[in-house]
Amino acid sequence: MPTSLSSTSKPPIQRVLLKLSGESFCQSGQSGLSVPEIVLIAEQIKRVVASGVQLAVVCGGGNILRGRDLDGFKQTILPATAHYMGMLATVINGLALLDTLESLGVPARLQSAIRMEGVAEPFIRRRCIRHLEKGRVVILAAGTGSPFVTTDTAAALRSREIDATLLIKATRVDGVYSSDPLKNPHAVKYSEISYQDVLRQNLGVMDAQAIHHCMEQNIPIVVLNYQKSGTIERAIAGERLGTRVSTVSELNTGNQPAS
Ligand code: UDP
């Protein structure tokens, strides 16, 4: 029987997909794994889940290997192979995050887009959603399982598949800028911007495929600096921080850069 909404209805459950790039797993400017860095992010995840939010996490792998890192060796290691190696790097990060979350008492599961039953469940959409409904963090590793795309695209695809209400891209910069703020002192930060403008201005928030997926299903993206404590929880609670990418009609102030 359909239920009607009343003023006493609880707010709808939020289902968020958090994209963690490989750099979240290591120290700034370095590669490999840094356990203290992983603990910092896991502590934030713990607080998010404790607030009742359903959370799936897509891990990047750039701290270990990106397929394009081996572009100079195409005669020896084929590009497709290099990308599979990049996907395996995301599984290493996923395993590290899984154990870290569990060490903090957070129930979690690791699902991989490449089958490897010994270390991870296969990604099965319905099972993933079931885990989320039970309050488990689901870590999604191995990207899409196909070479030549990034984990940003995987994050957008999985957001669509699991009906995420928000995609958070956690980075080390505090949002989207009109140009690289490290190179251009006049670069300005957008507090909000449309998918279309991100694509038109080629802003490099996420790759174009990822933006298109979010645009087609109207999934807002928040780009934020996860290193500022509490930013992930605050963004989920609706606070305006970082940069929000959404449809033009959702924007309140147009596409003006924020100061
Ligand atoms: N990758 C891939 N298919 C996918 C996702 C990732 O081939 O669906 C490979 C690709 O080579 C990529 C690497 O895995 O460079 C690591 O992912 P990504 O570069 O997105 O990691 P991040 O930049 O987020 O650390």
DSSP string, 121-145: EEP-HHHHHHHHHTT-EEEEESTTS
Q: What was the pLDDT predicted at 208? A: 95
Would the pTM of this model clear 0.85, i.e. be above it?
yes
Q: Collect the ranges in the chain with pLDDT lower than 70.
A: 1-13, 249-259
Contact 143, 149 (CB under 8 A): yes
Tokens representing 236? 């989920």
Q: What was the pLDDT predicted at 251? A: 62
The alpha carbon torsion through 210, 75, 82, 202 (nearest 10 deg) reads -20
Place of tokens 């996420």: 206
Atom index in ligand 1 nearest the CA of residue 62 equals 25
Kindly list the protein residues whose Cβ atom lies closer than 6 A to any atom of ligand 1.
Answer: 21-22, 60-62, 66-67, 83, 86-87, 89-90, 143-144, 146-152, 154
Domain residue limits, the chain: 15-257
Atom index in ligand 1 nearest the CA of residue 152 equals 20
Q: What was the pLDDT predicted at 10? A: 58
- In CATH, the architecture of 15-257 is 3-Layer(aba) Sandwich (3.40)
Q: What was the pLDDT predicted at 11? A: 59
Q: What was the pLDDT predicted at 180? A: 83
Q: 63 exposed, middle or buried (CB, 10 Å; 0-12, 13-18, 19+)? A: buried
Q: Nearest C-alpha to atom 14 of ligand 1 is from which residue?
A: 86
Whole-number Å distance, alpha carbon 24 to ligand 1 midpoint, is 14
* Bind-site residues for ATP: 19-22, 62, 66, 171, 177, 180
Whole-number Å distance, alpha carbon 155 to ligand 1 midpoint, is 11
Terminal CA-CA length for the chain? 50
Q: What was the pLDDT predicted at 250? A: 63
